[in-house]
Structure 1
Amino acid sequence: MTRPTQALFLVGGRGTRLGALSANTPKPMQEIAPGVRFLDLLLENAARMGFADLVLLAGHLGDQVEAAYHGRRVGEAAIRVVRESQPMGTGGALAQAAEALDERFVLLNGDSFFDINLRALTAAPLPEGGGRLALRMVEDTARYGSVRLNDAKISAFVEKNPDLTGPGLINGGIYYLDRAMVGRIEAPSSIESDVFPELVREGRLEGLPFEGYFLDIGLPETLAQAQRETAALRVRPAAFLDRDGVLNEDHGYTHRVDDLAWMPGAREAIRLLNDRGYRVIVVTNQAGVARGFYDEDAIGIFHAGMQVQLAEAGAFVDAFYHCPYHADGKVLAYTVEDHPDRKPNPGMILRALKDWHVDKDKSFLIGDKPSDMEAARRAGLPGHLYTGGNLQALVSDIIGPE
């Protein structure tokens, strides 16, 4: 199974419950902090998980969405906008974008933020022609309506009803879908009320419960809550991880995907960090480039291979930083005395702290060499020496219980 890399966002709603707030500004483009829109948070989050094709399905005030986002990039991800010709509902908007769809893709509501590990949602194969919904447990389902789950299969959707109170699972507004199901959509329609019930009857719709911060901005009071809370969610603690000897077996200048062998518990450790909301940032010395054993493109291919295998475990790395320089290199361009990025120097860590929104006080580094520990010290981070064994156990000890 290939790793899905496409995420679509439904940003075409009129936002009538917001009243004058959404009259001239699309609901997902409401600011949550000066110069930061709610939609920015969603796009950044998808990009950090390796979704490189971000598609905005726009409708109401779609010209504003297109002007603000079409052709932009978020990290390594490219953004494009598909505008509906007329109001077509969530199902119709998806059907109109059918030609732009990958075989498997994630679809997210643009007016809610559910802080989950999207790779956990996409790890298992989908039912053919079906989908999988991210679900969330809430104390009172009256406002949302609820979802009934039988093992992994969704058995029913229960409409919101003020008389049906109490805890239960709700639709979190994030869907992992098979493109084949789009062929059954008639426009205009609602994917939630017209398509999903059909998939339930056919046994093709799964649900996966998640914990995590959840907020929709459909009401003035919840938009105000978003303005108080969600900008801070961009700032996350980071786990800085050395690569060879910590994540994968060190065969000496390891650079071929065929030679990738994971250390015990390494993928599970990354998954744990993902699920707990940490940024996972790899910082690795790669003197093999300076010594002429391989080039920087080979490093990128190796890291892409790591991401594919991590996705199979429901995990991901936010970013890779590598230092190709060495004082005793054979390739002149990479022969540098004491390069600031080469550990024990802290350059890679310092660049990552600048590039990403990181809560430094809660961050740490794991490495297997004294040079890793020294780099952490110089960057002002606690360093933890990995001496073998199960990496997930070490990470669990470091971050403690949830």
Structure 2
Amino acid sequence: MIPRVNQAVILCGGLGSRLGSLTASTPKPLLPVDGRPFLEILIEEIARQGIRRILLLAAFASDQVRDFAAALPAKLGFDMTVELAIEPDRAGTGGAIWHAREQLDDLFYLFNGDSWFDVPLAELARALPADPAVVGALALRRLPEAGRYGVVTLSGGRIDQFAAKAEAGSGPVLVNAGVYLFRRTLVDALSPLCSLEQDGLAVLAAQGRLAGLPADGYFLDIGIPDDYARAQTEIPAHRRRPALFLDRDGVINLDHGHVGSIDRFEWVAGAREAILRANRLGYYVFVVTNQAGIAKGYYTEADYRAVKAHVRAGLAEIGAHIDDERFCPFHVDAAIEAYRRDSDWRKPAPGMLLDLLRRWPVDAGHSLLVGDRDSDLAAAAAAGIAGHLFGGGNLDDFVKPLLTETRA
């Protein structure tokens, strides 16, 4: 089983001196990219994969990071927590982690706050061996040349060396891309003032205690002016991707009639695997579901959220995730007055789909919806999305010919 990881820790304390006046008074991760703080985009990419507890390691201009953290959950619209750990002095990348040691989970993802590597986090979790002596797993980016990055060598899935830089013209290399999964025992290799890479990872690699996951996903570090300029167009372009919209009852779970409790929830064959397939191919996965059972008093919104959490937990067991979800609890004949109204979110109206299209950078022309009723297909058509009617059976077999590779 894939280890369950709930926390993402992000290094936000660097001065960003190579960006000159841009970072004179602004922490590098808070610089705008496509009109939003880069850190907001990074956290959104993390949170959509199911990681909803964020810890920011701050130093320079930490008051700005604190204000950002306080406003972020409402801005993103996720049920999430964002906490801060502030270095007492400039402690280096390793020291920042050491000072936050009491706030770390037993397993946590770690990210550089000034770069984005589009690697599925579940794949990194798969790469961490069960052996507790292995402290962590690193996502490694293949590059044709090392450039300004340090080079990592890999043998049998274990990292055996961190080199400062490769010689010019040395050819393809693996570099540390700033995305990690660590056990909390990493702290034992650190000190109050140290570099994560030089003082921690280099030593652990020499001991055979780090795993590596080579990957080819999109990678950009905004640490120099040219790359920061490229980020303004490249990052929004890369985040624009097709979506797989899924009805819930009858598509993800068997429709037993107003399924509002975990004991009545039963997975459709191949449903989890279909969602995992879409994740791996680079699709957003959205759920759009009418929930008239709430309006009729059969169950509550809290019951619905409990089933939703159950679905997410079941997906996490195989490394799959749902990026976002919309539900409509309203019905014109509702037994509960608060829900008695017509709504343009209730399928066959397209409101739920349109709201997701506004919220996320979706390539609608290459997106699709899978539903089990004509009302699902009508909603898709009204939103400009291709609709496909699922008549039962194995959902993964059904969606496999409908999905294409999108992850660059």
Contact in 2 for aligned 1:57/1:93 (Cα 8 Å):
yes
List per-residue Cα deviations over 1:67-94 (Å, max 9, x = no partner): 4334532322232332211111111001
**Residues 285 and 322 of structure 1 are in contact (CA less than 8 Å); yes or no, is this contact kept in structure 2?**
yes
- Residue 258 of structure 1 deviates from its aligned partner by 4.1
Match of 1:224 among 223, 229, 234: 229
* In 2: Cα distance, 1:184 partner to 1:401 partner: 40
Q: What is the Cα deviation at residue 33 of structure 1?
A: 2.8
Aligned length: 400
Q: Indicate whether 1:75 and 2:80 are aligned.
A: no
Asked if structure 1 preserves the Cα contact closer than 8 Å seen for 2:110 and 2:179, the reply is yes
Q: Which runs of 5+ in 1 are unaligned?
A: none
In structure 1, the partner of 2:56 is 56
Distance apart, 1:16 and its partner CA: 2.4
Q: Hey, what does 1:271 align to over in structure 2? A: 276
Task: State the distance in 2 between where 1:174 and 1:33 align.
Answer: 22
Structure 2: how far apart are the matches of 1:174 and 1:21?
Answer: 25
Residues 217 and 223 in structure 1, CA contact (< 8 A), matched pair in contact too: yes
| 346, 354, 358: which one aligns with 2:358 | 354
Residue 123 of structure 1 contacts residue 312 of structure 1 at CA under 8 Å; is this kept in 2?
no
Give the RMSD, CA atoms, in angstroms. 2.3
Higher mean C-alpha deviation, range 68-77 or range 172-181: 68-77
1:326-361 CA-partner distances (Å, limit 9, x unpaired): 34443343344x532222222221222233333322
Q: How far off its partner does 1:252 sit?
A: 2.7
Deviation at 1:114, TM superposition (A): 0.7
Name the CA distance, whole Å, in 2 between partners of 1:321 and 1:163. Answer: 51
2:11 — aligned with what? 10
Q: Name the residue aligned to 1:26.
A: 27
Residue 392 of structure 1 is matched in structure 2 by 396
Within 5 Å, which residues of 2 pair with 1:88-127? 88-123=91-126, 127=131
Shift of 1:19: 2.9
Residues 282, 405 of structure 2: 8 Å contact kept: no
Match of residue 323 from structure 1: 328
- The unaligned stretches of length 5 or more in structure 2 are none
Q: Is the 8 A contact 1:142 1:164 kept in 2?
A: no
- Tell me if structure 1 keeps the 8 A contact 2:115–2:178: yes
SS of aligned partner of 1:7: strand
- For the 8 Å contact 1:10–1:58, the answer to whether it is kept is yes
**Correspondence list, 1:329-368, <5 A:** 329-336=334-341, 338-368=342-372
Q: 1:388 to 1:149 in 2, by over 3 A?
A: farther
- Whole-angstrom distance in 2 between the partners of 1:399 and 1:14: 43
Alignment correspondent of 2:155: 150
The whole-number CA distance in structure 2 between the counterparts of 1:243 and 1:124 is 31
In the aligned structure 2, how far is the partner of 1:312 from the partner of 1:142?
A: 38
Contact 2:281 2:404 in 1 (8 A): no
Q: Distance in 2 between matches of 1:353 and 1:260?
A: 28
1:10: Cα distance to partner? 0.7
> How many Å separate the matches in 2 of 1:256 and 1:120?
31
Measure, in 2, the Cα distance between the counterparts of 1:92 and 1:339.
53
Give 1:299 deviation, angstroms: 0.9
Gap change, CA 1:102 and 1:371, over 3 Å in 2: same
Which digits, 9 at most, give the CA deviation of each residue in 1:227-248, with x for residues without a partner? 2322334443222111122112
Deviation string, structure 1 residues 124-164 (Cα, Å, up to 9, x no partner): 66542611111222222353233222333223323312246
Give the TM-score, by structure 2 length: 0.90
Secondary structure of 1:239's counterpart equals strand
CA contact under 8 A between 1:245 and 1:368: conserved in structure 2? yes
How many angstroms does 1:304 deviate by?
A: 0.8
Structure-2 separation of matches of 1:327 and 1:180: 56
Partner of 1:371: 375
Q: Which amino acid aligns with 2:123?
A: A
- The one-letter amino acid of 2:90's match is P
1:145–1:170 Cα contact (<8 Å) kept:
yes
Secondary structure at the counterpart of residue 315 of structure 2? helix
SS in 2 for 1:206: strand
What TM-score do you get using the length of structure 1 for normalisation? Answer: 0.91
Look up the equivalent residue of 1:148 and give its one-letter code: T
For structure 1, which segment, 252-261 or 54-63, has the greater mean C-alpha deviation from structure 2 after superposition? Answer: 252-261
